[in-house]
Amino acid sequence: MKKSIVNTLALSLLCACSFSVLAKDPLFTLKNLERERAALINDLLDTEADAQQRLSKIKLKQRQLSDMERMVLRDERLVQSNSRLAQKAFENYDLTFLVHAGAEQKKSATEQWLNQVRLTNKRILSSKAGFR
């Protein structure tokens, strides 16, 4: 009984501390979105995973990214922020919000990213491997 109360209090204190950190950083949701987006691109470009593994990782990341994008789009602190990071994120909507921008254009998030960075099959096949 005592241990349960102590655990509950400790968990409550931890939650309160994490919420205070969130309140201090208005760019918290945007930074998390950037991390998730980078993880999606990393999974897309992973040469060590086979096609099935890559596809399952990408599907999972797209669901997570979709949730993060919704959080960022609804975060009023970002709209009020004068941060250059927030301004650039909304200026580059098609690259920042891959899942939502892709859905608007009836594409997957990976197709959206590849189109935005102008990577096509033709360009990939015409490229040469080598050292720089």
Q: Is residue 2 part of a domain?
A: no
Q: How long is the chain?
A: 132
pLDDT digits (tens, 9 = 90+) for 75-126: 999 888 889 999 999 999 999 999 999 999 999 998 898 889 888 878 878 8
- Domain range enclosing 73: 27-126
Q: Is residue 38 part of a domain?
A: yes
pLDDT digits (tens, 9 = 90+) for 33-68: 999 999 999 998 888 989 899 999 999 999 999 999
Q: How many CB atoms lie within 10 A of CB 69?
A: 22
- Which of 78, 68, 6 lies closest to 37 in space, CA to CA? 68
Q: Is residue 3 part of a domain?
A: no
| Number of domains the chain is built from | 1
pLDDT of residue 22: 47
Q: Is residue 102 part of a domain?
A: yes
